[in-house]
Chain A
Amino acid sequence: MKKTNLLVIAACTIALFGLSCKKSADVGNSNASPTFGKLNVSSSFSWSPTKRILLAITGMPTTTTVVNTLRIVNPKNGESYYTGLHKLDENVSLKLNIPSVTDSIQIQFGSIRKNYTAQFIGISADYLPTITQDNP
């Protein structure tokens, strides 16, 4: 009987510690991400880190031929997406791959600078300045 009691006590002790350990393990993993193999991802999800945008720039009529370097850049970090030689009055159509995290682009033509949102696939742009009441 004494032996039986000892065994019961031992069993209870083991069970108690076991439950405690399991509880700690539960707390440690409660916020863990699923492993990669357990993910269930939409078939429409693109694993690509880039997105393709279609940028259409309308040329500005000019009094004389103006040729300069056109750059398309990220205005926040200066990363360049396109560089080419173009005329100011030329319509330009570009397909660009930009990082998916990029939310805006800047058109640079010489000293001309214009920003556009990159939230959508199609971007319509131009070189026209913003009209103010008085401009120099």
Chain B
Amino acid sequence: MKKIILSLLSSVLITGFINAQTVSVNAESGNRAIEQGNCWGFGSIGYTNTAAQIITGSWSMRSNSPTNLDPGACWIKSPWMKPGSGNITLNIKFEATSAATIRRVILSYIPYVAANSYGEGNLTRFDSITYTYSVSTPLPTSKQSLSFAIPSAIANSSSAYKIQLSFVGTGGTTRYNIDDVVIPGTYFSDPSNNCLPRVEVVDTDGDGVADKDDAYPNDSTRAYNNYSSSDYGTYLFEDNWPTTGDYDFNDLVIGYRYNMVTNSSNKVVELKANLVVRASGATFKNGFGIQLDGISPSSVTKVTNSQTQSSSWVNTSSNGTEANQTYANIIVVDDASRVLPSTNGNPITNTIVGAPYTTPDTINLTISFVNNTLTTADIKLNPYLIINQTRSRELHLANRQPTSLAWNFFGTNDDDSNPSSGRYYVNKSNLPWALDVPATIPYPIEGVNVTKAFLFLANWAQSNGTQNSDWYINNSGNWDSGNMYSH
């Protein structure tokens, strides 16, 4: 059964006090943008805190110098509202006693007509007050409290109207000061929907998220998808760490796309990972895991679709995370060559041009979390390669922390890690053994150095990232396709 949620009708005024069943403006915010953001309209009206121009409080409104009697020349327009009954009240004064011929305050209403621009129908005038200057009847420069009855045509209406107050005149330059506009009625605008009248929200699962915005409109425990990117990204690994390899960065190539599914409290319900083992240019039987930095394993309730096949070196807890870890770790695959098998007896798959191609499958991993504990900012993904079934030999992206089970290799051979300073998985020249690219990209042919495929990768790195930050994008001159794997 459909549930309809009506917008709340509480009327809290911007200045911080509550007035039931009125819509009002008094400029005390000192910032016309706030009232404008709440759907008030202003035409040739500004805010002033000049002492001589203030009527009440610290701020008042001030008109431009009137030049004609057209109601459209200078005005304050209410948000859409449902008018009540009684009187519209406001305070005015003039900035000078003379320098004017006529000054007139005009009250009008505007019906809602959906098809019109801004939804505004015809302006209908219903009241006014005129000041005609003469020596014997100077303009009042002290506060004048005005009151105008809401016309019966719109009083207590269930339809939406705007009330327009116009401040017009001829002759001279004397301006109006205006304050304390109060209109009986109920605020009925939506500042988040082009300041049109509020509409009933359809929310089928009742989680507070409108169906039009809800990625799961029939599931109250889920609301939004938060994807890591619109496209798949690419992890590229060199598995000789801690020894330097050939830098073809295709020993393991994984396409990835993550989705943090959140609920209406903006807490992560689950992390969905789509992972594609695209290439295994290695003789090693490499595994792949993901650590959630800073997340306790007990925050995870369940892991589905990991591809470890009861490997003896993978110890999994009952919730699917790896055992004996400080942070939550998921071993996604224990042997990449099993999920991307070679078909010609050569252990290397999808990196040698002309060799049989193996079509990759997608691993659809889901990690579920304890209810309402984690935000999207809490989820810090730390992917890594497990080299040749040796659990302690992990390879992470540059300067990403290892897991609790990694040890024994830091600072050996070409590795220049310094765990005490948080320096990991780089050599003395600060070069990594793993790359993370936020796009689906091809990778080098077996044995071809990565800079021969991506021609401005070197420039990007050596310029400290200030140049060629798009090195991985197939813009003119960036790629040498002849050095990239294709099938």
Q: Which A residues lie at the B interface, using CB under 8 A?
A: 33-37, 39-50, 60-69, 77-80, 82-86, 88, 94-96, 99-101, 109-112, 127-131, 133-136
Given the known inter-chain contacts A40-B462, A63-B79, A133-B44, please indicate yes or no for A84 contacting B193, CB distance below 8 A: no
Contact A64 B7 (CB under 8 A): yes
11 more contacts with CB within 8 A, not counting A49-B438, A130-B33, are A40-B429, A40-B430, A41-B429, A47-B432, A48-B397, A49-B437, A49-B472, A95-B377, A99-B438, A134-B44, A135-B36
The verdict on B262 contacting chain A, using a C-beta distance below 8 Å, is: yes
The verdict on B109 contacting chain A, using a C-beta distance below 8 Å, is: no
Task: Kindly identify, within residues 471 to 485 of chain B, every residue whose CB is under 8 Å from any CB belonging to chain A.
Answer: 472
Contact B451 A34 (CB under 8 A): yes
Inter-chain CA distance A7–B281, complex, in Å, is 50
Contact B223 A110 (CB under 8 A): no
Contact B247 A110 (CB under 8 A): no
The verdict on B314 contacting chain A, using a C-beta distance below 8 Å, is: no
Given the known inter-chain contacts A40-B429, A69-B213, please indicate yes or no for A84 contacting B435, CB distance below 8 A: no
Q: Which residue of A lies closest to B438 (CB)?
A: A49
For B195, the chain A residues whose CB sits under 8 A away are 136
Greatest chain A CB density within 10 A among B225, B230, B437 is at B230
Q: How far is the CB of A128 from chain B (nearest CB, A)?
A: 4
Inter-chain CA distance A95–B379, complex, in Å, is 11
For A94, the chain B residues whose CB sits under 8 A away are 377
Contact B230 A79 (CB under 8 A): yes
Within the complex, which residue of B208, B229, B266, B452 is in contact with A35, where a contact is CB–CB below 8 Å?
B452
Contact A63 B192 (CB under 8 A): no
For A64, the chain B residues whose CB sits under 8 A away are 7-12, 187
Contact B226 A83 (CB under 8 A): yes
Contact B208 A85 (CB under 8 A): yes
Contact A134 B43 (CB under 8 A): yes
Q: How far is the CB of A103 from chain B (nearest CB, A)?
A: 10
Inter-chain CA distance A45–B398, complex, in Å, is 10
Task: Kindly identify, within residues 204 to 250 of chain B, every residue whose CB is under 8 Å from any CB belonging to chain A.
Answer: 208-210, 213, 223-227, 229-230, 233, 244, 247
Greatest chain B CB density within 10 A among A41, A111, A127 is at A41
Within the complex, which residue of A44, A65, A80, A100 is in contact with B226, where a contact is CB–CB below 8 Å?
A80
Q: Which B residues lie at the A interface, using CB under 8 A?
A: 7-14, 23, 29, 31-34, 36-38, 41-44, 77, 79, 118, 120, 187, 189-195, 208-210, 213, 223-227, 229-230, 233, 244, 247, 262, 264-266, 376-377, 397-399, 423, 429-432, 435-438, 449-452, 455-459, 461-462, 464-465, 469-470, 472
For B459, the chain A residues whose CB sits under 8 A away are 33
Q: How far is the CB of A28 from chain B (nearest CB, A)?
A: 13
For A33, the chain B residues whose CB sits under 8 A away are 451-452, 455-459
Inter-chain CA distance A43–B438, complex, in Å, is 22
Count contacts between A and B, CB distance < 8 Å. 181
Within the complex, which residue of A48, A67, A134 is in contact with B208, where a contact is CB–CB below 8 Å?
A67
Supply 24 A–B pairs (Cβ within 8 Å), ascending by A: A33-B458, A35-B449, A36-B431, A39-B431, A39-B462, A42-B464, A45-B464, A50-B438, A62-B12, A62-B191, A63-B187, A64-B12, A68-B213, A85-B208, A85-B265, A86-B266, A95-B377, A99-B229, A101-B469, A111-B192, A111-B194, A128-B36, A131-B36, A136-B120
Within the complex, which residue of B33, B191, B229 is in contact with A112, where a contact is CB–CB below 8 Å?
B191
Given the known inter-chain contacts A80-B226, A112-B192, please indicate yes or no for A128 contacting B33, CB distance below 8 A: yes
For B192, the chain A residues whose CB sits under 8 A away are 66, 68, 88, 109-112
Contact B230 A77 (CB under 8 A): yes
Contact A84 B430 (CB under 8 A): no
Inter-chain CA distance A48–B425, complex, in Å, is 13
Contact A101 B14 (CB under 8 A): no
Q: How far is the CB of B191 from chain A (nearest CB, A)?
A: 6
For A36, the chain B residues whose CB sits under 8 A away are 247, 431, 449-451, 457-458
For B464, the chain A residues whose CB sits under 8 A away are 41-42, 44-45
Q: How far is the CB of A32 from chain B (nearest CB, A)?
A: 8
Contact B435 A47 (CB under 8 A): yes
Q: Which residue of A lies closest to B423 (CB)?
A: A43
Q: How far is the CB of B168 from chain A (nearest CB, A)?
A: 14
